[in-house]
Amino acid sequence: MSLLFDALVYKPLYNLLIFIYNTLPFHDFGIAIILVTLIIKFFLVPLSKKQIESQKKMQEMQPKIKEIQEKYKKDKEKQSKALMEFYKTNKTNPFSGCLPTIFQLIFLIAIYRVLFNISNSGLLVDPKELYAFVANPGQINQYFLGLVDLSRTVNLGHLTIGSIAQIILIVLAAVAQYFQMKMIMPPKPAKSSGTPDLASTMSTQMMYLGPLLTLFIGIKFPAGLALYWLVSTIFAIIQQKQLTKKPVEEK
């Protein structure tokens, strides 16, 4: 499995990043990460579109799902069968939205490994990882805009201009994550005396857990990961807005 991951994800990503870094006249590693992130996001557009459409459809079906849950709340087996039949009738899979998230996680792990391996080798590119057509730039300039060291983590005990810029980057990534989670939250159901809506409760929790997780990743891992996450999330927000406003424009 590890060999498959290396051959299909890690090595192509490593080479794409170095190829773009070589192409840039000013050799900014941060700009190279941004361009690679955009390429990945454009590559995942069909899956992301399917995820957004699935989330929207699930939101529209929430009142009926709630009705089924209330009707069979004393018989979990009948409730599960009724929900499965409902999903089948409406040609919906509640887990279909998970695939883009899995791909996003795979690329996040790959980006982390690329940054980690380059940092551990003294910012030198490993020639064994490069394809024949990708030139070896030697030592990498790991700074983004000359300020943020993308290969290092935040040292809270020794703050510099670079580390403050890195903290701002991490906070921006967390804020972007919050707004993205808020956008995909299902509408709040009308108040009732029944059981609380599970989907709504989980979405509310994720709206806060997502940004907290982003802060943790940003502080504990190389800054390049926070930059990747920020650009990826901003792209997702723009994509979400475009896809959700299309039906309104068509009407």
Tokens matching residue 210:
């997502």
Mean pLDDT, rounded, for 96-107: 74
The dihedral sign for the CA sequence 20, 230, 51, 5? positive
Which tops the pLDDT comparison, 249 or 139?
Answer: 139
Which of 15-19, 84-88, 91-95, 223-227 shows the lowest mean pLDDT across its residues? 91-95
* Cross-strand partners of 143: 149
Mean pLDDT, rounded, for 24-44: 90
* 53-62, 103-112, 184-193, 242-251, range with greatest mean pLDDT: 103-112
Say whether pLDDT at 106 is over 80. yes
Instruction: Give me the pLDDT at residue 159, please.
Output: 74
Place of tokens 């580390």: 163
Say whether pLDDT at 240 is over 50. yes
pLDDT category at 18 given cuts 50, 70, 90 is very high
Tokens matching residue 61:
């079906």
Instruction: Give me the pLDDT at residue 15, please.
Output: 94
Mean pLDDT, rounded, for 51-73: 74
Which tops the pLDDT comparison, 199 or 111?
Answer: 111
Percent of the chain predicted with pLDDT > 90: 18
Which of 61-75, 170-184, 206-220 shows the lowest mean pLDDT across its residues? 61-75
CA atoms within 13 A on the CB side of 231: 19
The average confidence (pLDDT) of the chain is: 80
The single-letter code of the amino acid at 230 is: L
Mean pLDDT, rounded, for 34-60: 80
Which tops the pLDDT comparison, 2 or 224?
Answer: 224
Mean pLDDT, rounded, for 159-185: 85
Distance, CA of 116 to CA of 133 (rounded, Å): 23
Cα 164–Cα 167–Cα 168 angle in degrees, nearest 5: 90
Say whether pLDDT at 231 is over 90. yes
Mean pLDDT, rounded, for 18-41: 91
**What pLDDT, in 10s, does the model give residues 185-225?**
655 555 544 555 555 566 667 777 888 888 888 888 888 88
Which of 39-48, 55-64, 103-112, 165-174 shows the lowest mean pLDDT across its residues? 55-64
CB 153 within 8 A of CB 221: yes
Mean pLDDT, rounded, for 56-84: 77
